[in-house]
Amino acid sequence: MEVAQLGDLEFQARGVVEGFLAGSHRSPFRGFSVEFAEHRPYQPGDDLRYLDWKGYARADRATIKQFESETNLRAMLLLDTSASMAWSGAPHRLTKLAYAQRLAAALGLVLLSQRDATGLIAFDDAVRVLLPARARTRQRWALLAALSRLVPGHGTVAGQALERVTDLLRRRGLVVLISDLLFDRTLAMRLLQYLRHRGHQVLVFHIMDPAERDLGGPPEARFEDLESGRSVVVRPREFRAAYGAAVEAAIGAWRSACRRNGIGYAHVTTDMPFGVALRHALARRTRLG
């Protein structure tokens, strides 16, 4: 991991978060104490049963004993790192993966600031990164380090990542899928439905480059699938209308399927400010809670 890369990711994520947390809220989910993790400053409303009275007597400073399961909820961020996520339609824009990394970092810092245990699963055609959900102070560094190391992979098999979540989240929590959704919708929705049936909140961020919604280019162009390597030569002008209709239909199908099953859905383009995308997450999490 490049230290400068981690610093850049943290700097950008913190810049987004600092302008966002003023409207943050406490999670409706509360846990119970099972394993001591660390001390944190006392806040009005905290349960006095967990006040460190000995520490208060020694230092005249009120601190709360925080336990691993005391966190508000457990959240898992699922990040698609397949080859298609490495694409950008313009040199001045972030690739879909780079945008997703920054969005996941900002969302992770928001969750951790609320003492929500947060983890990460990164996947392409297999699970590549697995960071279990934790709420300890050092988790932010582990999360940022894991995100900064991500590189584009191969094909996409979201099912494996979603199945791992069902094993990791034994009690109800939050699952956030960040992907361009270029995979089998039927299988993915079946697994997302199962997570909802288990009582989890589920949010889907559909990441697209603005150029993906409009077929442009020269009079004749070769288009290549980044994951399969297959290519086709077409005249963009002849297919523009049909292509645009197909893309809008795909977006509509994902949106409708998510809404029918109580799953939050946000269509996000890589030219959208991160703060706007985070507000989508907060609004949908509140409605699903």
44 phi, psi to nearest 5 deg: -50, 130
pLDDT tens column, 212-226: 987 766 656 666 665
Copy the structure tokens of residue 171.
């009690």
Superfamily of domain 3-22+71-288: von Willebrand factor, type A domain (3.40.50.410)
Euclidean distance between CA atoms 196 and 176, whole angstroms: 12
State the chain's mean pLDDT as an integer.
79
Place of tokens 């697209």: 208
Instruction: Please say if the pLDDT value at position 263 is more than 80.
Output: yes
Non-local (6+) Cβ contacts of 68 within 8 A are 34, 35, 36, 37, 117, 134, 135
Does position 37 have pLDDT exceeding 70, yes or no? no
Please state the rounded mean pLDDT for residues 92-103. 94
Higher pLDDT, 262 or 238: 262
Q: 184: Cβ–Cβ under 8 A, 6 or more apart, which residues?
A: 158, 159
Give me the pLDDT at residue 280, please: 72
Q: Rounded to 5 degrees, what angle do the CA atoms 9, 269, 260 make?
A: 115
pLDDT above 60 for 12: no
The answer to whether residues 165 and 236 touch, using CB atoms and an 8 Å cutoff, is no
Residue 7 has pLDDT above 50, yes or no: no
What are the boundaries of each domain within the chain? 3-22+71-288, 32-67
pLDDT score recorded for residue 180: 96
Q: Pick the residue with more confidence: 101 or 68? A: 101
Residue 17: band (very low, low, confident or very high) from pLDDT cuts 50, 70, 90: low
CB-CB contact of 18 with 273 (8 Å): no
Q: What is the pLDDT of residues 130-181, one digit of tens each?
A: 999 998 888 999 999 999 999 998 877 777 888 888 778 777 888 999 999 9
pLDDT band for position 209 (cuts 50, 70, 90): very high
